[in-house]
Copies of this chain bind each other. A is one copy, B any other.
């Protein structure tokens, strides 16, 4: 029999969906506003401005009713023509996804790949860029499948020097790690609502620089729902081209207001601190981590199971005994690692709870 004190839904320590604050959940239960009303436009524009603040940019941001993958396709469909040479940095499943989409749009794709847990070094990128003239480079900041982060600050100038457009997946990094679109010269970047933004999945965000608009002007690939021309025109009228998820945008604005009140520096410090606390605790339990400290994502940590203990058993015990969900590995890493998310609405107490639960889980399974 279930205990009375057990929450209906388990606590999520996966890389999204992430925990949602009570006030934000309450906002989702409000009757929807009309999407063409002045009341909604005001909230929509406030959310848009706060997304600019979070991305440290003056560039346009479009809010799409779609998953992050939709925004990834939009990034390609608005900039890449069939035959364009695109360099795709692949350090996991989501880097590979960019390459897959670019190929579907007819791009001539070159992949620069790293082993799981490794990032791409500036030297590797420099060498790859020297071998050909690329129209664009796609890369992942924080790779959700491995918990490994590329050093954006070091890589961006190399892409700029090579005269290529940078298209960056900041899905799990934005709101967790420093992302300076303007200072670092990122041309296109995108994220999703169920990550650092503390709201459920349902929205994605794409940031578009002047250089990206220039690429759009020369792009012949078909695009409608994610078309920047329509999005920009609507944004100029404080709205979206098609009926958006008004409830999620109201929730987003509220969550972003909470983030503004916490302050960007504090948000970034908290995510770094919780990452380090988790990594220290995992090592104290004798566990090995997939990614070195030097390139560890502040959003997600990938952990090898102890010898003789199966990942599915760890996940099952987590959920059954502690009502906590942790993630399996994806694709080739399935059952080889498990992943714990620590992004968004997460506290020191949550990390301690996760570590205590894991200690108990391992003792049970040993």
Contacts and interface: CB of A to CB of B under 8 A. Distances in A.
25 contacts: A8-B30, A9-B30, A9-B31, A9-B33, A12-B31, A17-B246, A19-B31, A28-B29, A32-B200, A35-B201, A65-B66, A65-B70, A67-B225, A72-B224, A77-B222, A104-B222, A104-B224, A106-B222, A192-B243, A194-B243, A200-B247, A201-B245, A201-B246, A201-B247, A202-B245
- Size band of the A side of the interface? 35 or more
Interface in A203-241: 221-225, 241
Contacts of A363: none
B242 A245 contact: no
A163 interface: no
Contact of A100 (B7, B30, B36, B224): B224
How many copies the complex holds: the figure is 2
- For A14, A35, A100, which residue has the most chain B Cβ atoms within 10 angstroms? A35
B222 A70 contact: no
Contacts of A20: 31-32
A320 to B, nearest CB: 12
B200 A245 contact: yes
Interface string A277-308: 00000000000000000000000000000000
A224 B69 contact: yes
A202 B8 CA distance: 24
Interface string A57-83: 000000001111110110001000000
A263 interface: no
- Does more than half of chain A's interface fall in helix, strand or loop, or is it mixed? loop
A192 B225 CA distance: 14
A228 B236 CA distance: 33
Given A12-B32, A16-B243, 5 more contacts: A28-B28, A34-B325, A65-B70, A69-B225, A201-B246
Contacts of A327: 36
A80 to B, nearest CB: 10
Given A201-B32, A247-B28, A325-B37, A69 B19 contact: no
A353 to B, nearest CB: 15
Nearest to A26: B29
B12 A34 contact: yes
A244 interface: yes
A228 to B, nearest CB: 13
Contacts of A225: 66-67, 69-70, 73
A222 B221 contact: yes
A25 interface: yes
Contacts of A184: none
Top 4 nearest A-B pairs by Cβ distance?
A: A202-B245, A29-B29, A17-B32, A69-B242
Most buried by B among A8, A17, A105, A245: A245
A243 B77 contact: no
A355 B2 CA distance: 51
A333 interface: no
A101 B25 CA distance: 36
A28 B28 CA distance: 6
A248 interface: yes
A161 B153 CA distance: 61
A202 B37 contact: no
Contacts of A246: 17, 200-201
Contacts of A221: 222
